[in-house]
Structure 1
Amino acid sequence: MTSFSKWLPRFQIVACVTYVGKGGSGNFVKMVHDGFEYRGMQLLAKAYDVSKSVSKISNDELQLVFSKWNKGGQLSFLVEIAADIFGIKDDKYEGFLSGLKEERVQAAGVFQSGGFSDILGDQHIDKAKLTEDVRRALYASKICSYTQGMDLIRTKSIEMRWELTLGELAMIRKGVSVICAIFLVRIKKAYIRNPELANLLIDPEFAKEILD
């Protein structure tokens, strides 16, 4: 740790680097951070699916929605690139799908014969309200995801006597990974307010957002 401490300030200038702890703590924290990445991608995929399937929102509209989200509390690398993707026109892929008309008609017939239909087809959907509901659900889910992950790190740290600094670990990959997000700064501040914080959901700021 002594030699690492000498070079740590220089590393922190160009990347989000910090000393994690003793034993296998570094590998354990890396595993949890990978989980944050996968959960983040899954949550965005679900947000897309609900928005697209329920409100029939176009990709151009989704690009505007995700771009707007990326200017607020959802600011992150994943939301940013999702917005960029919605702006890409893939004529080859769309042509491939439209070329399967016979298969699509047959599949629709099978579902209709089984009593399945588009239950939302005749319903009016308020796109603005739906996208706001999805945004709030996405943000609440992100809070819950990080709550579980940070609690996992905290619990293992106590068990193994690693004495990990949770606030610093929240920031370790802020600028150099898929989970790059302003959200991580708020997690660090929560642990600065209360270094013994047992759960992010009982932090006053995060608790208020969940209740709202």
Structure 2
Amino acid sequence: MEKAEIGLIGLGVMGSNLALNIAEKGHPVAVFNRTTSRTGSFFKAAGELRRMIVPCSTLKEFAASIRPPRPIIIMVSAGPAVDEQIAALRSVLSSGDIVIDAGNANFRDTVRRFTDLKDSGLTFIGMGVSGGEEGARHGPSIMVGGTRDAYARVEKVLTDISAKYEGEPCAAWLGPDGAGHFVKTIHNGIEYADMQMIAEIYGVLRDGLGMAPKEIGGVFAEWNKGRLNSYLIEITAKVLAADDRETGRPMVDMILDRAGQKGTGKWSAIEAQTLGVSATAIEAAVSARVLSSLKTERLAAEKAYALGDLPKISGDRQEILRDLELALFAGKIAAYAQGFAVMEAASKQFDWRLPLPTIAKIWRAGCIIRSQFLGTLAEAFQESGELPNLLMAPAFIEMMKEAHPSLRRILARAVESGLPMPALSSALAYFDSYRQGRGTSNLIQAQRDFFGAHGFERIDAEGAFHGPWGMGG
């Protein structure tokens, strides 16, 4: 076989599927895994694709199998393992070779690695990959950060293996150093919010309306035909329709209500705060997962407060279902507005010049938050140029005008019934705060000046002023 076009290290589930995807798209790929038996078993199971795969047992053999300048994808656990792998590669690579971290890295680590390798002759790419196991195998959304020259070397491979939306590749160069991994982090933050909001609507259907899982699944399946059409709504319907093979009961009812997380949602919330951008729906979703982990405490609190059966929501069933659909849509708009506002702030802070319309486009297929909604979002950013917030795009103004009354009604009913709606309520509060020309922070500024002499601005004069409250505090 001719030399491989690209190399891949780390044959776990994601790495294996990505390597098969590369091979299937006609690009010879060299593979290496620290546990060599894993390399052998992967190669054996590759079937007809073995002719496009070069299995290697040492890093030296691996490097020699790839056409220079060598692009090498690392698919190992984020953190120290990536640094260890880079250190090991430096002894076998040459000037111009490209190290590509395709894991869920903290973008600050990516910036550091990019800087560390800057004078070594090697080039570093931080590449966000979204789509899970299926996406890695058949076409993910790919978000690249690094130099344009480095991207040019791997562009053909990456666009070939990426998901396609109406024939357009869902892969793009987004900016230097940590830009790709930052965008992937915010993607995951929006994903957290989207999933939490769906779960909250599920809670209203289950506990507020007393609906069974399959019936709820039917509602989500119907919603997936309209404005909420998306991967997450689609799989929600399928999850709710599934039965447990052992008990015959609905599978969802057999799953402990304790959600895990790997850190990207938390990073989204932290970076939003660091950049001074409000991302309340994302923060609420992260907090909800933390609270979900306190299962023992929650059971004790339920007993202490003698919760009993929650009161059901009454009224016309079809009207409530329509309100629930629109409430979820309104929350989704707010969450995306927050996520894109964070990316816009980061773009300015780090001089990345992130192409927001392009980001929306490469999320239309392959990634976890893919939806028809993203096409409208991309158009909004393209048409409006310097858009301060998605909520100010004409198309989204009209959508929110239609949807936010439903969100209010659903939240009011949920509060009366004791149903927690942290992400959706945060989304509404964000929307109301954003559209209110005169808020209440004037009082906070007065308080800060009273106890700390921090000063404040006046509505009728420029400069900093202090109030007439003397030395109190």
Indicate yes or no: 2:399 matched with 1:209: yes
Q: Give the CA deviation at 1:115.
A: 6.2
Q: Secondary structure at the match of 1:74?
A: coil
How far apart in 2 are the matches of 1:13 and 1:75? 26
Aligned residue-pair number: 199
Match of 1:144 in 2: 334
Gap regions ≥5 residues in structure 1: 99-106
Deviation, 1:8, is: 3.6
In 1: Cα distance, 2:181 partner to 2:348 partner = 16
Counterpart AA for 2:385: P
Which protein is bigger by CA-based radius of gyration? 2
Secondary structure of 2:175's counterpart equals: coil
Conservation of the 8 A alpha-carbon contact between 2:208 and 2:310: no
**DSSP 3-state at the match of 1:19:** strand
Stretches of structure 2 lacking an aligned partner (at least 5 in a row): 1-147, 163-169, 255-298, 403-473
Higher mean alpha-carbon deviation, 156-165 vs 7-16, is at: 7-16
Report the counterpart of residue 51 of structure 1 in structure 2. 205
Aligned counterparts of 2:314 and 2:155: Cα–Cα separation in 1: 57
Contact 2:387-2:393 at 8 Å conserved across structures: yes
5 Å-filtered alignment, 1:102-141, equals: 116-118=307-309, 120-121=311-312, 124-141=314-331
- Equivalent pair of 2:340/2:356 in contact (CA under 8 Å): yes
Amino acid at match of 2:213: N
Structure number with the higher strand fraction is: 2
Question: 2:369 aligned to 164, 170, 179, which one?
Answer: 179
1:203 deviation in Å?
A: 0.3
Q: Distance in 1 between matches of 2:156 and 2:320?
A: 45
The AA in structure 2 aligned to 1:126 is D
Partner residue of 1:92 out of 240, 247, 250: 247
CA contact (8 A) 1:157 1:163 kept: yes
> Match for residue 80 of structure 1?
234
Distance in 2 between residues matched to 1:114 and 1:3, nearest whole Å: 60
Q: Residues 114 and 22 from structure 1, CA distance in 2 versus in 1: closer, same or farther, beyond 3 angstroms?
A: closer
- Tell me the amino acid that sits aligned with residue 350 of structure 2: M
Q: Aligned residue for 1:4?
A: 151
In structure 1, how many angstroms separate the alpha carbons of the residues matched to 2:176 and 2:305? Answer: 59
CA RMSD of aligned residues (A): 2.7
Q: What is the one-letter code of the residue matched to 1:136?
A: L
Indicate how the Cα distance of structure 1 residues 211 and 117 shifts in structure 2: closer, same or farther if over 3 A, else same. same
SS of match in other structure, 1:38: helix
Q: Secondary structure at the match of 1:20?
A: strand
User: 1:72 offset after TM fit, Å?
Assistant: 1.0
**CA-CA distance at 1:170 after TM superposition:** 1.8
List 4+ stretches of structure 1 deviating above 4 A.
113-117
Task: Choose between structure 1 and 2 for higher RCO, CA contacts under 8 A separated by at least 6 residues.
Answer: 1
Classify 1:176/1:114 alpha carbon distance in 2 versus 1 (closer, same or farther; 3 Å).
Answer: closer
* 1:51-96 alpha-carbon deviations (Å, 9 max, x no partner): 111111222321221111111111111110111122112361749x
CA contact (8 A) 2:391 2:397 kept: yes
CA spacing shift, 1:17–1:115, aligned 2, 3 Å: closer
Bigger shift: residues 4-13 or 176-185: 4-13
Give distance in 2, aligned partners of 1:114 and 1:89.
Answer: 33
Distance 1:13 1:196, change over 3 A: farther
Q: Report the TM-score, using the length of structure 2 for normalisation.
A: 0.39
1:84–1:10: structure 2 CA closer, same or farther, 3 Å change rule? same
Q: 1:174, 1:181 within 8 Å by CA — same for their partners in 2?
A: yes
The residue that corresponds to 2:270 in the other structure is none
Q: Which is further off, 132-141 or 59-68? A: 59-68
TM-score, normalization by structure 1: 0.83
Q: 2:247 is aligned with what amino acid?
A: K
Shift of 1:10: 6.4
**Which residue is equivalent to 1:102?**
none
